[in-house]
Structure 1
Amino acid sequence: MPTAVREPAGHLLLDDRLSLERGLLPAPVLGRDGFRAAAHYEPGRAQALLSGDFYDVVQSEDSTVHAIIGDVSGHGPAEAALAVHLRLAWRTAVLCGRTQLQQMGMLERILVQERTSDETFATVVSLRFPPGGHSVTAVNAGHPGIILRRSREVRWVEPQTGIALGFFPGHEDWVETRIELSPRDGVVLLTDGVFEGRTGRATRLGEEGLLRLAARRSHLPAQEFIDALVGDAAAMAAPFGGLSDDVAVLQLGWNVPG
């Protein structure tokens, strides 16, 4: 009789870990009333599907869309696990009707309880899109700004920024910033991994460089736009070690006739 061929134990463990991580990746919860979301997510760790970067999108019963993107400091499995804790806690808070400021306070308390080092922190920005597509409300805890796409124009928007989660627990200086939108505007959230790659021996792409890349790709639809944006940033960084950090980019917006 033929002898069964056993896979090496290391391969089985890797397959199990990747299956587990795949199940913990975000699955945006949206209705059918015209909201669009596109995401690009790349862990910096080899042979990993999850990283310390996280995002999620949830639409509540009143059709309001809630979104979050965040970045836990560090690059190991402990940071990836903490990112999952924060994402799931945020989704629970949204579904329980907590305000954006209450969500931030809860996420900071969870981060402080679950982190393995007092030096671990997280930058986070949350968005709330009311139905109609005329505005978005942002709460920013130490995170990079937002790219606003309007027709074929792009610009950098900086919501008022509070302190990152975990820096000074309990300080809670976050505020809400309302950003006016036009029909079919796209709001692009990102983590700093996409613009922190080196483009020279002593230079990095930076936010201004990223915005220039975005302007070149402004004619593209959402998914193609964010994929091209990451691809262009990676190509510029490739001669100098590539994008070594985790990357997450998210484009959101109402598909409102205009």
Structure 2
Amino acid sequence: MGIDVGDAGRRSAEAPPAASPWATGGGPTRAAVELTAFAAAALAGTVPLALGDPTRFVGLPGAVAALVAVSASIRLGVRSGLFVALLTGVVFVTLSGAVHDDLGPAERGAIAVPIWLAAAAVAGVAADRYRRRSRALLVQLIGERHEAEAARGALERVLESAPEIQREGPVTVVAEGVCVAALDTFGGDAAALWDAAPDGTLTMIARVPHSPTLPLGMVTHVRELDDLGSQLATRRVSFIPDVERSHPELWDRYARSAGTRSVLRIPIAGDESMRVLTITWEERVADPRAAVEGVAQRFADQAALALEQARRSELQAETSALHDRLEAALLPRVVVADPAVRVTTRYEPGEDRLLLGGDFLDAVELRDGRIAALVGDVAGHGPDAAAMGANLRAAWRALVLAGLPLPEVLRAMHEALVSGRSSSELFVTLCTVSVARDRASADVVCAGHPAPLRLDGSLCEIAVPPGPPLGVADDPHWSVRTVPLPPHWSVVLYTDGLVEGRAAPDSRERFGLERLLERLAEAVEVGGGVLDETGLVRLLDRVRAANGGNLADDVAVLVISTG
């Protein structure tokens, strides 16, 4: 069902105007007045003859008064006509009595009768005028009530169509729901939704029902659609009653093949987008804007909200997919074939940020049985830092798989950073470990990064020769420290975000390495001497609790364990 405003429009068209009946150019009312005036004049002329004194013309003042009263009612209105009739009647009777004191009752009547006849005629005119006005007002009220009922019904249908508009899914699905709801609300044979680009390009994103002559994705321009550009700019609802007659070019290009005769256009303005909804009829229909303009605006608001929500959901889905890819790049899937070795990783973004930090980690088992691991931190945050971290992680993996010694791996990564960074202030800290095939020792190299921790019944920081971060020195060098390992051990590599939080929610003191070792000992004790994934999660929970919430910086942790 749609809005039916044709009947109300027809009733309004049939209603007579509320202007004075004298301005209509004639009619029975004016004829009656003129006849009465002539009758009064004739009566005024014949009465003296009947009295046998044709020279006195005592009825002439009455005839003049009657004509003055009628003229006043025509020019000044009915009330003025009645007042003039009564006033002139009194004046002429009084003057006639003073001038002709010998006038008898019959002669005085000859003067007064035409005047009172004129007053009666004017009263009749008044009754007829008010009757016409009352009828016109009644017709107008009936028409307005019909339009109001139609608009209220349409508004109810807008509310009922809300579930159809608020479809779940991408913009194209919601757009199709908007078209279905538009047909239910406004009627019509077809509805289409067009996306308007800033350059004026229009792209059809939905149409109900589908049409082979107007396929989805078809593109046109506002300049090809007459005044649509200005209508979109002002967000005005527009209507074309007969496309063939008023827009022949539009008829030849689109409407003829689609069987479109009348078109209603409703702009739908979002926060950052503009669209236009077109509702078409195959037969010519009356202009519905008077009844539907307010409803159309309510409908457009609901449609804009639903489309904006769908657009934001699409953007969120795209952003989530991007973050998943970044997460895959920053947190690669670590697989170690040796069942005696376990690699556990954890990455958490800083406060109020998604996975767009500069921390990165990786681990890989080499063909000779060695296990190499890496944790690094790019100075800064955001997409550039995340991209640099992903690139360096990929470079590290390729270099260690090629069998290069760790110092040469770091030098090649340094050169890649210097040649590819966008700012000379960008630098990277990292720590890399290579565990021997027999798991009895490990080579450790640090480039301006916190040294790894060793758990082998006790907790300690591995002493590593200091080395510069990547991207700082012109000719950097790094030394390797070979560390012996007992039969059962764990090596923890981490970024500085793990120790730079607050020691307590209201404290300015840093969490620090000493507290980290204490919390690690608690996590290992609870885990039965093993720092597994559950223990790592428990450790991070304790660090966050001490900080009073999420940590300000990103955190990356990698644990290699045996036993």
Deviations 1:217-241 (A, max 9, x none): 2222322222222111111001xx6
1:227 is aligned to 537
Deviations 1:192-233 (A, max 9, x none): 001101224321111112112112222223222222221111
1:181 is aligned to 485
| Percentage of pairs with the same residue | 32
Displacement, 1:145?
A: 1.6
Match of 2:348 among 12, 36, 42: 42
**1:253 counterpart = 2:561:** yes
Decide whether the 8 Å contact of 1:44 with 1:75 is kept in 2: no
For 1:206 and 1:22, how far apart are their aligned partners in 2? 27
Larger radius of gyration: 2
**1:194 counterpart = 2:498:** yes
Decide whether the 8 Å contact of 2:356 with 2:385 is kept in 1: no
For 1:20 and 1:242, how far apart are their aligned partners in 2? 23
Match of 1:158 among 427, 442, 463: 463
Displacement, 1:166?
A: 0.9
2:521 is aligned to 215
For 1:158 and 1:87, how far apart are their aligned partners in 2? 24
2:261 is aligned to none
- Secondary structure at the counterpart of residue 174 of structure 2: coil
For 2:424 and 2:381, how far apart are their aligned partners in 1? 16
Range 25-34 or range 65-74, more displaced: 25-34
2:319 is aligned to 14
Give the TM-score taking structure 1 as reference length: 0.90
For 2:383 and 2:406, how far apart are their aligned partners in 1? 28
Deviations 1:11-67 (A, max 9, x none): 243133223224423121421342210011112264623421111001111110011
Deviations 1:154-200 (A, max 9, x none): 12223112111111132x22100011110120000110001101224
For 1:233 and 1:15, how far apart are their aligned partners in 2? 27
Range 108-117 or range 183-192, more displaced: 108-117
**1:87 counterpart = 2:367:** no
Question: CA separation of 1:19/1:211 partners in 2, compared to 1, >3 Å: closer, same or farther?
Answer: closer
Deviating above 6 A after TM superposition, structure 1's stretches of 4 or more consecutive aligned residues are: none
Decide whether the 8 Å contact of 2:363 with 2:371 is kept in 1: yes
2:155 is aligned to none
Aligned length: 250
Range 64-73 or range 111-120, more displaced: 111-120
Decide whether the 8 Å contact of 1:137 with 1:178 is kept in 2: yes
Residue type at the aligned position of 1:5: V
Give the TM-score taking structure 2 as reference length: 0.43
For 1:134 and 1:253, how far apart are their aligned partners in 2? 12
- Secondary structure at the counterpart of residue 162 of structure 1: coil
For 2:491 and 2:389, how far apart are their aligned partners in 1? 22
- Secondary structure at the counterpart of residue 74 of structure 1: strand
For 1:74 and 1:155, how far apart are their aligned partners in 2? 29
Structure showing greater relative contact order (alpha-carbon pairs closer than 8 Å, 6 or more residues apart): 1
**1:68 counterpart = 2:374:** yes
Decide whether the 8 Å contact of 1:60 with 1:95 is kept in 2: yes
Deviations 1:117-170 (A, max 9, x none): 11111111110101122111101111102211113x212223112111111132
Decide whether the 8 Å contact of 1:35 with 1:254 is kept in 2: yes
- Secondary structure at the counterpart of residue 381 of structure 2: coil
Residue type at the aligned position of 1:13: E
